[in-house]
Amino acid sequence: MSGQLTIVGLGPGPAGWVTPAANAAVAAADVMLGYAPYLARLTPRAGQIFEASDNREELQRAVRALELASQGKRVVMVSGGDPGVFAMAAAVFEAVEKNPGLANDFDIRVEPGITAMLAAAARIGAPLGHDFCAISLSDNLKPWEVIERRLRLAAEADFVIALYNPASKARPNQIRHAFRILNSARKPETTVIFARAVGRDDEEIEVTTLKEAPDALCDMRTLVIVGSDATRSLRGNKGRIWVYTPRSARGK
Amino acid sequence: MSGQLTIVGLGPGPAGWVTPAANAAVAAADVMLGYAPYLARLTPRAGQIFEASDNREELQRAVRALELASQGKRVVMVSGGDPGVFAMAAAVFEAVEKNPGLANDFDIRVEPGITAMLAAAARIGAPLGHDFCAISLSDNLKPWEVIERRLRLAAEADFVIALYNPASKARPNQIRHAFRILNSARKPETTVIFARAVGRDDEEIEVTTLKEAPDALCDMRTLVIVGSDATRSLRGNKGRIWVYTPRSARGK
């Protein structure tokens, strides 16, 4: 029997945001691999094996997935959000490249998912309504100078900026460095959104400004969106705050 | 009875990529508004009204949605992809802002969807595996100089670049201008992906280089992804080409 490897995005959390295609891949799997909290969202059916791993072990997990699929297993590798955005799909293809021959006898598929910035944006309006970029602030895998350079150029380009992995216990201060850089290039009133645990029971969304942003609570489960010059806030029904970036842009 | 307006993302096309939350909103609607080809994907249930409109009429459609919701209707506004990415959600909030009072008596919700770049990326591997940006090449709503400036800065930042609305009958040459700009800032071997009609029967994905990109077929249904310096191609099972951008980046 020929194996198969599907890298699946489970979205930010709620079942209502998991695509039917992702669910079908999960249902058909012999073995499920993934970071423990993502596997914990799923209920194994009889005969299905779950192999949880830690979140620093992405490359080992990817190689393990290739080995199991090459043995004829239907393997699903789960990611939160979308597997192609700062997640497992790139790790799997890196493992394919580093282990020539291991992935020659089975098909690989990627099932997209709702990535954190889309969910966060939907909750607060339409802040990504115009040109935007996504930057991971984690310097586990890239030097801080690269991050800093991209932040400066993104600010200069007046992109809306989605910041993934803004902070962790090991890196509590990077988001403050990032805000310092952005503060030097964007006006202090620029809208900033802190979207924490989107789609979960403890979801919390804070809208503030670049000037005030360094004081906001920010952790591993937070996605930060920094507006462009055009990003606007307005009050809706029952005083609710909406943030959106207009579809049109003026020249300088 | 209190009305409601939900702006729903239907993803790139296949039913397997429509979230359960989007389907639930569609099922509960009294009135569905949208660009005709998106409404054509849905089957009205008894008692449901479909109002199709042209794709240049976004603001009028948004005002109409607010009017119907203020009359107590459960209104769904459909978008392809994700409603917050170059789509209807920003138009709705623009209409709310321009029509004070009209949206005071009902709730608005946004239901995220799989946006084109995530679907295109999934089909070809993981090209968005590292820092990236999304730029719309349509100059209906912004001057070309803004687009040009963002392309230059995005190239300088070494972002992977997703180009939405790369060409239309009215704008056949903008994508060529874009490639000229990118060619002057990035190496000619940079990977470029043309993902056409992703998820449809006539889906077609072409992988080429920045040097050859101006000769590729590109239309309204195409999403273009331009790799970073780090983006790589490799051959998988049965000669299939995969493209991915590694999770790690080196300094300059």
Instruction: Tell me the pLDDT tens digit for each residue of B195-248.
Output: 999 999 999 999 999 999 988 889 989 999 999 999 999 998 888 999 999 998
The alpha-carbon gap from A48 to the nearest alpha carbon of chain B, in Å, equals: 23
| In a domain? residue A250 | no
Q: Does B159 touch chain A (CB under 8 A)?
A: yes
Q: Do B219 and B204 form a contact (C-beta atoms < 8 A)?
A: no
- Secondary structure tally for chain A: helices H, strands E: 7, 13
Instruction: Print the domain residue range for A220.
Output: 117-244
DSSP code of residue B128: T
Continuous segment of H or E residues that includes residue B194: strand B191-196
The answer to the question of residue B250 being in a domain is no
Scanning every residue of chain B, which has its alpha carbon at the shortest distance from the alpha carbon of A165? Answer: B131
Which residue among A11, A142, A234 places its CB closest to the CB of B97? Answer: A234
Confidence of residue B1 (pLDDT cuts 50, 70, 90): low
| Cα-based angle B192, B195, B196 (whole degrees, multiple of 5) | 140
**Do both B25 and B125 map to the same domain?**
no
In this structure, are strands B160-164 and B222-226 parallel, antiparallel, or unpaired?
A: antiparallel
Tell me, yes or no, whether B66 lies in a domain. Answer: yes
Judge whether B244 is closer than 8 Å to chain A, CB to CB.
yes
Domain membership flag for residue A249 = no
Q: Are residues B123 and B94 both part of a single domain?
A: no
The answer to whether A99 and B83 have CB atoms below 8 angstroms apart is no
d(CA A30, CA A32): 7
List pLDDT tens digits, range A203-215: 999 999 999 998 8
Nearest by CB to B141, which of A114, A232, A248? A248
For chain B, how far is it from start to end, CA to CA, in angstroms?
61
The answer to whether A127 contacts B156, with C-beta atoms less than 8 Å apart, is no
Q: How far is A238 from chain B (nearest CA, A)?
A: 8
Q: Are residues A58 and A174 in the same domain?
A: no
Most distant CA pair in chain B, distance: 61
Which residues lie below 8 Å from residue A238, measured CB to CB, with a gap of 6+? none
Q: Are residue A23 and residue A125 in the same domain, yes or no?
A: no
Is residue A241 within 8 angstroms of chain B, CB to CB? Answer: no
Q: What secondary structure does DSSP assign to A20-61, as a single string?
A: HHHHHHHHH-SEEEEEHHHHTTS-PPTT-EEEEE-TT-HHHH
Write the DSSP string, A4-25. EEEEEE-BSS-GGGS-HHHHHH
B112, B82 in Cβ contact below 8 A?
yes
Of the pLDDT bands very low, low, confident and very high (cuts 50, 70, 90), residue A251 is: low
B252 to chain A: nearest residue by CA?
A: A146
The span from the CA of A80 to the CA of A87, in Å, is 8
Q: How far is A134 from chain B (nearest CA, A)?
A: 5
Is residue A194 domain-shared with residue A155, that is, in the same domain? yes
Taking CA–CA distances from B7, the nearest residue in chain A reads A122
Which pLDDT value is given to residue A54? 86
CB B82 within 8 A of CB B9: yes
Tell me the pLDDT tens digit for each residue of B117-135.
999 999 999 999 999 999 9
pLDDT score for B55: 78
Q: In this model, does residue A141 exceed pLDDT 90?
A: no
Question: Angle at CA A117, nearest 5°, toward B242 and B161?
Answer: 45
How many interface pairs between A and B have CB atoms less than 8 angstroms apart?
254
Same domain as A172, residue A74: no
How confident is the model over A2-23, as pLDDT tens digits?
899 999 999 999 999 999 999 9
Q: Is B249 inside any structural domain?
A: no
Is there a single domain that holds both residue B239 and residue B123?
A: yes
Does B252 reside within a domain?
no
Tokens of A198: 């989107």
Residues A130 and A45 in one domain: no
- Domains contained in chain A, number: 2
Domain presence at residue B251:
no
Are B153 and A150 inside 8 Å of each other by CB? no
Residue B230 lies in a domain: yes
A144 and A197 share a domain? Answer: yes
Helix, coil or strand: residue B40: coil
Q: What is the Cα–Cα distance from A185 to B158, expressed in whole angstroms?
A: 19
- Regarding whether B136 and B219 lie in a shared domain, the answer is yes
Q: Is B251–A153 a contact, with Cβ atoms under 8 angstroms apart?
A: no
- Mean of the pLDDT values across residues A176-185? 95
Instruction: List Cβ neighbours of A195 (8 Å cut-off, separation of 6 or more).
Output: A116, A119, A120, A123, A124, A203, A205, A222, A223, A224, A225
Per the CB < 8 Å rule, is B131 touching A130? Answer: no
Q: Taking CB atoms and an 8 Å limit, are A122 and B110 in contact across chains?
A: yes
A14 CB near a chain B CB, below 8 Å? yes
- The CATH number assigned to the domain holding A18 equals 3.40.1010.10
- The residues in A 74-113 lying below 8 A from B, measured between CB atoms, are 82-87, 89-94, 96-97, 103-108, 110-113
The answer to whether B224 and B163 have CB atoms below 8 angstroms apart is yes
Q: Are residues B136 and B88 in the same domain?
A: no
pLDDT-derived band at A185 (thresholds 50, 70, 90) equals very high
Grouping H, G, I as helix, E, B as strand and the rest as coil, residue A217 is coil
Residue A82, token pair as written in the block: 């979308």
Partner-chain residue, chosen from A19, A89, A251, that has the shortest CB–CB distance to B16: A19
Residues A47 and A123 in one domain: no
Among B20, B108, B248, the residue with its CB nearest the CB of A141 is: B248
Residue B8: enclosing H or E segment and its boundaries?
strand B4-9
> Taking a contact as any Cβ pair under 8 Å apart, which residues of chain B between 201 and 230 contact chain A?
none
Count of CB atoms situated within 10 Å of the CB of A100: 10
Looking at this predicted complex, what is its ipTM? Answer: 0.97
* pLDDT value for A165: 94
C-alpha to C-alpha distances, B216 to A8, B77, B198, nearest whole angstrom: 30, 34, 16
Domain edge (last residue) among A99, A114, A129 = A114
DSSP state at residue B45:
P
The pLDDT of A190-197, averaged and rounded, is: 97
Residue-level pLDDT at B124: 98
Interface touch A122/B234, C-beta < 8 Å: no
Q: How far is B246 from chain A (nearest CA, A)?
A: 6
Q: How far is CA B95 from CA A94, A132, B65, B121, in A?
A: 46, 22, 9, 32
With beta carbons under 8 A apart, name residues in chain A contacting B207.
none
Which domain CATH number covers A131?
Answer: 3.30.950.10
Q: Which of A84, A114, A144 is the last residue of a domain?
A: A114
Residues of chain A contacting B93 with CB distance shorter than 8 Å: 125-126, 129, 234, 242, 244
Domain final position from B83, B98, B114? B114
pLDDT of residue B54: 86
* Main-chain dihedrals φ then ψ at residue A190, nearest 5 degrees: -50, 135
